[in-house]
Amino acid sequence: MSAGLPTVLAAATPEHGGPVHYAAASGAFSLTWLLIVLPLAGAAVLLLGGRRTDRFGHIVGTLAAAASFVVGLVVFFALVGKNGDERAFSQHLFAWVPVNDFQVDVGLLVDQLSIVFVLLITGVGTLIHIYSIGYMAHDPNRRKFFAYMNLFLASMLLLVLGNNFLVLYAGWELVGLSSFLLIKFWEYKPAAATAANKAFYMNRVGDVGLALAIMFMFATLGSTNYDDVFTAAAGGVLGYGILTAIALLLLLGACGKSGQFPLQAWLPDAMEGPTPISALIHAATMVTAGVYLIARAAPIFNETQAARTVVLIIGAVTLVIGCVIGCAYDDIKKVLAYSTVSQIGYMFLAVGLGPAGYALGIAHLLAHGFFKAGLFLGSGSVIHAMKDEQDMRKYGGLWKYMKVTWVTFGLGYLAIIGLPPFSGFFTKDKIIETAFAKGGTSGTIYGLVALLGAGITAFYMTRLFLMTFHGKPRWESTSRIGSADPAGTPEGENAQHPHESPATMTLPMIVLAVGSVAAGALFIVGGTLSDFLAPVLGHHAGEHHGLDPWVVTLLTLVVSVGGLAGAFLRYQVRPVAAVAPTDAEVSPLTVAARHDLYANTFNEAAFMIPGNYLTRFLVWFDKIIVDGLVGGTAAAIGGLSGRLRRTQTGYVRTYALSMLGGTILVIGALLLVRVG
Amino acid sequence: MSAAPVVLAATLPPPQTPPVEYSSISPILIVLGLAFVGILVEAFAASSARRAIQPVLAVLGFVAAFVAVVLLHSRRATLVSGALAIDGPTLFMQGTILLFAVLAVMLVAERRLDSSGGAIVAAAAITPGEPGSTAMQTSKAMQTEVYPLMAFSVAGMLLFVGSNDLLVMFIALEILSLPLYLLCGLARRRRLLSQEAALKYFLLGAFSSAFFLYGVAMIYGFAGTVRLGEIADATGTVGENDLYLYLGVALLAVGFFFKIGAAPFHSWTPDVYQGAPTPITAFMAAGTKVAAFGALLRVFYVALGGLRWDWRPVIWGVAILTMIVGAVLALTQRDIKRMLAYSAIAHAGFLLVGLAGTNADGLSGSMFYLVTYGFTTIAAFAVVSLVRTGDGEASDLSQWQGLGRTSPMLAGIFAFLLLALAGIPLTSGFTGKFAVFQAAISGDATPLVVVALVCSAVAAFFYVRVIVLMFFSDPPADGPVVVTQPSLTYATAGVGAIVTLLLGVVPQPLLDLASHAAASGFVR
Q: What are all long-range contacts of A324-329, with beta carbons under 8 Å and residues at least 24 apart?
A: A324/A456, A324/A589, A324/A593, A324/A597, A325/A268, A325/A593, A325/A596, A325/A597, A326/A456, A326/A457, A326/A460, A327/A456, A327/A459, A327/A460, A327/A463, A327/A590, A327/A593, A328/A590, A328/A593, A328/A594, A329/A593, A329/A594
A658:B267 CB<8 A: yes
Nearest to B186 by CA among B200, B199, B198: B198
Strands A23-24 and A89-99, by their bridges, are parallel
Q: Are A232 and A13 in contact (CB under 8 A)?
A: no
Q: Pick the residue of A645, A646, A660, A670 with the most B CBs within 10 A to test the interface with B by mutation.
A: A670
Alpha-carbon distance values, A268 to A77, A135, A277, A279, A325 (Å): 37, 21, 13, 12, 11
Tell me which of A262, A279, A303 is where a domain ends.
A303
Over residues A154-198, the pLDDT tens digits come to: 999 999 998 889 999 999 999 999 999 999 898 888 888 888 988
Q: Identify the bridge partners of residue B78 per DSSP, sorted by sequence position.
A: B85
Write the CB contacts of B411 (distance below 8 Å, at least 6 apart in sequence). B403, B404, B470, B471
Q: Do A486 and A607 sit in the same domain of this protein?
A: no
Phi and psi at B379, nearest 5°, equal -65, -40
At A398, is the pLDDT very low, low, confident or very high (cuts 50, 70, 90)?
Answer: confident
Question: B254, B259, B309, B335: which to substitute to probe chain A, counting the most A Cβ within 10 Å?
Answer: B254
- A669 to chain B, any CB pair closer than 8 A? The answer is yes
Give me the torsion for CA of A78, A79, A83, A85, rounded to 10°.
Answer: 160
pLDDT of A519 above 90: no
Comparing A543 with A434, the larger pLDDT belongs to A434
How many domains is chain A partitioned into structurally?
A: 4
Q: Is B332:B58 a contact under the CB 8 Å cutoff?
A: no
Closest-CA residue in chain A for B202? A652
| A659–B258 CB contact, under 8 Å | yes
Question: Alpha-carbon torsion A161, A163, A165, A169, what sign?
Answer: negative
Residues A348, A449 within the same domain: yes
Among B72, B60, B66, B64, which Cα is nearest to B23's? B72
Is the CB of A663 less than 8 angstroms away from the CB of B254?
Answer: yes
Contact status of A655 with chain B (Cβ, < 8 Å): yes
Size of interface A-B (CB pairs under 8 A): 93
Residues A520 and A669 in one domain: no
All residues of chain B having their beta carbon less than 8 Å from the beta carbon of residue A651 are none
Q: Is the pLDDT of residue A482 over 50?
A: no
Classify the C-alpha dihedral A374-A376-A377-A383 as positive or negative. Answer: positive
| Same domain, yes or no: A188 and A200 | yes
Q: Does residue A402 have a pLDDT over 70?
A: yes
- From the list B173, B182, B181, the residue with the least C-alpha distance to B254 is B173
A102 sits in the region (left: phi over 0; alpha: psi -120 to 50; else beta) called beta
Q: For residues B86 and B77, is the Cβ–Cβ distance under 8 A? A: yes
Separation CA B256–CA A113 (nearest Å): 77
Partner residue facing A670 (CB), from B246, B268, B325: B246
Range with lowest mean pLDDT among A36-50, A453-467, A520-534, B229-243 = A520-534
C-alpha to C-alpha distance for A504 and A131, rounded to whole angstroms: 5
3-state secondary structure (DSSP) of residue B482: strand
Question: Same domain for A392 and A438?
Answer: yes
Q: What is the structure's pLDDT at A489?
A: 45
Q: Give the Cα separation of A149 and A57 in Å (integer).
A: 12
pLDDT at A542: 56
Domain span including residue A627: 596-645
Mean pLDDT, range A354-367, rounded to an integer = 87
Q: What pLDDT is attached to residue A544?
A: 57
Residue B34 pLDDT > 80, yes or no? yes
Asked if residue A630 has pLDDT above 70, the reply is yes
- Cβ separation of A644 and B329 shorter than 8 Å? yes
Which among B53, B8, B110 is positioned nearest to B488, based on CA atoms? Answer: B110
Beta sheet of A23-24, edge-to-edge order: A23-24, A89-99, A102-110
Rounded to the nearest 5 percent, the helix, strand and coil shares of chain B are 75, 5, 25
- pLDDT per position as a tens digit, B133-151: 777 777 888 889 999 999 9
One domain for residues A319 and A270: no
Determine if the pTM surpasses 0.95.
Answer: no
Query: What does the pLDDT read at residue A539?
Result: 67
Instruction: Note the pLDDT of residue A160.
Output: 92
Average pLDDT in the A625-644 region?
Answer: 85
